[in-house]
Structure 1
Amino acid sequence: MLDGSGQRLHGRLLGHADLAEALPLVPGWLPLAPSLRAALPVVWTRLLSHSGFNADVIEDLNRPHGERLVGLGMAIALDDDWRRRLTDSPPPFAAAQLYAALAEGHYQPPSDKELARLSGRGEVAFLVLHYEQVLTDQANPDTVEMLGMAMSRFRQAHAGYRLQHLYQEGLGEQAAYLQSMGFRTRTARAQDGVPELYGLSRDEAALMLPGSPVRDAFQFTPPRFGFSAAERRLLRLAVTQLTDEEIGDELGVSLHGVKKLWRSAQQRSLQAMPSLYDGLTSAEADTGARGPEKRRTLLHYLGQHPEELRPYLSPEPG
């Protein structure tokens, strides 16, 4: 599969075309009824465009199409009730309970507007539903490289929110992996086959040195551009190097609609930060001239400023 030299691992958002291929990467230890496990692609389809759902894949571009996925991670934003439960009395297999609630329509992650308010108040919390990859032997360099990519994708998936808590369940050997990422142990169940809960709070992260993926996800700067939800979705896809055609397929809009979103996102960023496009006149920005250069400039900036890709509403004074 991988040879440790120049292999082409690529991390990106989960797409609609990936759903069937992603299903086998849901961990077997997660106690899901067979009918629920089979229905997960339907649940994911409803969530893919949701701001409160992070779903990332790692693919090996050396493998054939349809067989490229080698890693899958998913996380969901928590409402007030689930934030309290995981803080005060976390249930075992919380991810399975949330999947069941999602499938039955009893749970919906906070809306884009609610996430914006939560981020403004510093009350955003995510639970990683699961992470799985095809290689697990840490003596294998390819396994370690996949884990490195997974940690990078984790940071990118959660950075930019004003987070209050991050959580993830782990079983057995996963404990060392989660702790190396910066998580702290939250439970001590010590039961065979039952995962422990790991987490980190903003207050705990503030006492840590930079460098661990979980700690670094808590770094926050308020966004400046104020992109719309549709613009943010476009840009999240574009940051992972998707083409306009691929972005259109994911958004369910025409190529003309994609280009219209690009124009509005670039115009919004130009108005908020004219220096971002130094060397471009207002006329060039309006007419779309030098489009590829503007895109590269904007995407490079967004790679360093993930807060621009997240909903945010400044808190009311006082």
Structure 2
Amino acid sequence: MDFRLTDDQRALRTGLRELLAGRFGRDALRAAVDREGTVDRELWRELGAAGFFALRLPENEGGAGLGLPEAVLLFEEAGRALLNGPLVATHLAAGRVPGAADGARVVTCATQLRGLIPHFGDADAAVVIHGAGMHIRCPEELPHARRLRSLDPLTPLHRIPDGPKAPPRPDAILLTAAEQLGSAARTTEMAVQYAGEREQFGQPIGGFQAVKHLCAQMLVRTEVARAAVYAAAVTEDFTEIAGAKLLADEAAVQGARDCLQVFGGMGFTWEADVHLHLKRAWLRGRMWLTAAESEEIQAEALASAL
């Protein structure tokens, strides 16, 4: 099985990276923080026009007819950029909720955080997922949703009492893992760049063994997670998807922690972006499938293989 990217896949990834670099650079990221994570509707429509949400729809339904591997590449880029908004839910709703595919409507999901709904205030529709099925509801049909203070300043949250509990969607789990992978890759780059620029005792801190080890460990975790995420996108095996989420969560959370250590005191300031990656990684770690649930799936798979 060949896991190498094709030229078309590389072009797809590069196209979105360039779009986000132009439309969601650091200034736009900080503006989103100031807006408390409110979705940029204009950018959302641009993503829709670029095919982000309709990527996996058949061509006769207005989509690109591509698969989960291509979607993983795009969500990895979104994770790198810390793009905010209910990306996974809107992507899943394309073709089922009118306006979701072209970015005209923002769709959130009532199950990804088990009773917590991200971006409820921005949503035009909320989907409730039951296995492979999906029920569409208007936000007005959820009058008891209560705003909570979110750990991530870019992800506003609401809680629904007795929120729905449903089997997790494998593609939703994997796309969230892809976002974690993108964040892990970005914090690794940030750490290496800072280690090459910051000087102590007359030399870049990247010359010190302890800093080298931190950066090397970040890279190893990221590349292991990348292999797992890409492989799961090809096989679409649920056990492999759960394992990929577990590895990507670890790479994103621990990578952001290590990046914080490389930055030192500067990393603890509001001006540095490291804390935004760490907070988002913590939150994504609770989405769709937690580490404990992923570990149980792996344990059951190993037990059944004995």
Output the TM-score relative to the length of structure 2. 0.33
More strand by share: 1
More helix by share: 2
Output the TM-score relative to the length of structure 1. 0.32
